[in-house]
């Protein structure tokens, strides 16, 4: 009798262990895990919705960045720019308030007040590409990704989001003379600094009353 009870308890324990080790997953998740494919679309959407807004809110004013670079370039780039690759190009998230001087097919020329004079900034409205938006955010670390193609796909998704959700309605409404507020990404070569006619890739745009 005791032996039968022991065998019964042993079988029960084995059954419990087997039950705990079995769980159900969606077929799509199993396939994804098997292939190891990175879902850039979902990752970027989450990044855009959950982490980008606070980064845009804390973007430095372009005029302040320029003043900082003119005073101490090394310190300014260290504090206010990012880059994943080793090299001279640095990327910053900046905000500006400017007047629309001219609307071109691929960009808009803005006049921005700086140090008592007008500074020209080119706002890209057609060709949104490259890694400027991704890198300027400072949200990603190359060590967290299996391949550079994953990072490039994130850039493509960010750029596509700007092209399809940010720019279309803005381009329909904007007109010469409008005052606008823009937060976006700029690229600066720290070894050959040119602060006139910087190109700004928009991430957030608002036409002011």
* pLDDT tens string 29-56: 444 444 568 999 999 999 999 999 999 9
pLDDT at 19: 47
Domain membership of residue 164 as a residue range: 37-207
Q: What average pLDDT does the chain have?
A: 88
> 10 lies in a domain?
no
Mean pLDDT of 193-200: 91
pLDDT at 22: 44
> 45 lies in a domain?
yes
Domain CATH code at residue 109: 2.40.50.420
Instruction: Tell me the pLDDT tens digit for each residue of 144-175.
Output: 998 999 999 999 999 999 999 999 999 999 99
Number of structural domains (the chain) is 1
B/e letters for 46-85, b = 16+ CB within 10 Å, e = fewer, are ebbeeebeebeeebbebbebbebbeeeeeebbeebbbbbe
pTM for this entry: 0.81
Hey, how many other C-beta atoms are within 10 angstroms of the C-beta on 98?
A: 24
> 1 lies in a domain?
no
């Amino acid at each position: 009798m005791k032996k039968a009870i022991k065998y019964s308890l042993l079988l029960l324990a084995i059954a419990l262990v087997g039950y705990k080790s079995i769980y159900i997953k969606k077929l799509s998740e199993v396939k994804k895990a098997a292939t190891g494919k990175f879902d850039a679309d979902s990752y970027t959407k989450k990044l855009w919705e959950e982490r980008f807004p606070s980064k845009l809110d804390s973007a430095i004013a372009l005029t302040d960045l320029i003043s900082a670079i003119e005073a101490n370039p090394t310190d300014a780039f260290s504090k206010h720019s990012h880059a994943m690759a080793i090299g001279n190009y640095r990327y910053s998230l900046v905000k500006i308030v400017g007047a629309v001087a001219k609307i071109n097919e691929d960009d808009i020329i803005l006049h921005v007040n700086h140090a008592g004079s007008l500074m020209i900034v080119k706002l890209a409205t057609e060709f949104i590409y490259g890694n400027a938006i991704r890198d300027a955010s400072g949200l990603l670390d190359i060590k967290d990704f299996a391949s550079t193609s994953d990072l490039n796909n994130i850039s493509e998704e960010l750029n596509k989001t700007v092209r399809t959700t940010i720019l279309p309605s803005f381009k329909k409404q904007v007109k010469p003379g409008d005052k606008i507020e823009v937060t976006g990404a700029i690229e600066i070569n720290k070894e050959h600094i040119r602060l006139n006619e910087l190109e700004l890739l928009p991430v957030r745009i608002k036409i002011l009353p």
